[in-house]
Amino acid sequence: MSVPGDEPALTVAAVARRLGVAPATLRTWDRRYGLGPSSHAPGERRRYTSVDVARLERMRRLTHEGVSPADAARTALAGADPTRDRASAARGLPTPGGLLLELEPERAAGGPGGRIIAIPRAAGAVRGLARAAMSLDCAAVEEIVAAALASSGVIDTWDHLLCPVLRAVGDRWASTGEGVEVEHLLTEAVLGALRVVRAESLAVPTPRPALLCAAAGEEHCLPVHALAAALAERGVAARVLGPAMPDEGVVAAVRRTGAAVLFVWSHAPATAAAGFLADLPVMRPPTVVLVGGPGWRPADLRARATYTHDLGEAVHLVQLAAGVG
Phi and psi (nearest 5°) for 71?
-70, -35
Closest to 67 measured CA to CA, from 51, 82, 50: 82
* Pairing assessment for the beta strands 306-308 and 7-8 based on DSSP bridges: unpaired
Q: Reduce the secondary structure of 208-268 to three states and give it as a string.
A: CCEEEEECCCCCCCHHHHHHHHHHHHCCECEEEEECCCCHHHHHHHHHHHCCCEEEEECCC
99 pLDDT above the threshold of 60: no
Distance of CA 299 to the CA centre of its chain: 30
Integer CA distances (angstroms), 141 to 68, 80, 85, 102, 168, in order = 10, 25, 21, 17, 15
Does 107 have pLDDT greater than 50?
no
Mean pLDDT of 53-61: 84
One-letter amino acid identity for 218?
Answer: E
For residue 91, pLDDT over 60 is answered with no
Tens-place pLDDT, residues 242-291: 999 999 999 999 999 999 999 999 998 999 888 888 888 888 889 999 99
Buried b vs exposed e over 206-218: b needs ≥16 C-beta within 10 Å?
bebbbbbbbbbbb
Q: What is the mean pLDDT of residues 194-221?
A: 90
Mean pLDDT (the chain) is: 80
pLDDT computed for residue 57 by the predictor: 85
User: Burial of 6 by CB count in 10 Å (0-12 exposed, 13-18 middle, 19+ buried)?
Assistant: exposed
* pLDDT the model gives residue 2: 40
Spatial separation of the C-alpha atoms in residues 243 and 264, rounded to whole Å:
10
CA separation for the pair 231, 68 (Å, rounded): 25
pTM for this entry? 0.66
State how far the alpha carbon of 124 is from the alpha carbons of 27, 118, 150, 166, in Å: 27, 12, 17, 16
Shortest CA distance to 212 belongs to which of 195, 231, 199, 194? 231
More confident residue, 57 or 186: 186
Q: How far is CA 195 from the centre of its chain?
A: 9
Of 160-164, 203-207, 223-227, 245-249, give the lowest mean pLDDT range. 203-207
Long-range contacts made by residues 146-150, C-beta under 8 angstroms, separation at least 24?
146/69, 146/193, 146/196, 147/63, 147/64, 147/66, 147/67, 147/68, 147/69, 147/72, 147/97, 148/63, 148/64, 149/193, 149/194, 149/196, 149/197, 149/229, 150/21, 150/25, 150/28, 150/29, 150/63, 150/69
For 183, phi then psi, to 5°, come to: -60, -40
Query: Is the pLDDT confidence value at 186 over 90?
Result: yes
Provide the 3-class DSSP secondary structure of residue 122: coil
Percentages of the chain per state (helix, strand, coil), in multiples of 5: 55, 10, 35
Asked if 239 and 209 count as a contact pair (C-beta separation under 8 A), the reply is yes
Query: Which residue, among 149, 142, 229, 313, has the nearest Cα to 221 in the 3D structure?
Result: 229
Residue pLDDT, tens place only, 64-79: 665 667 777 888 888 7
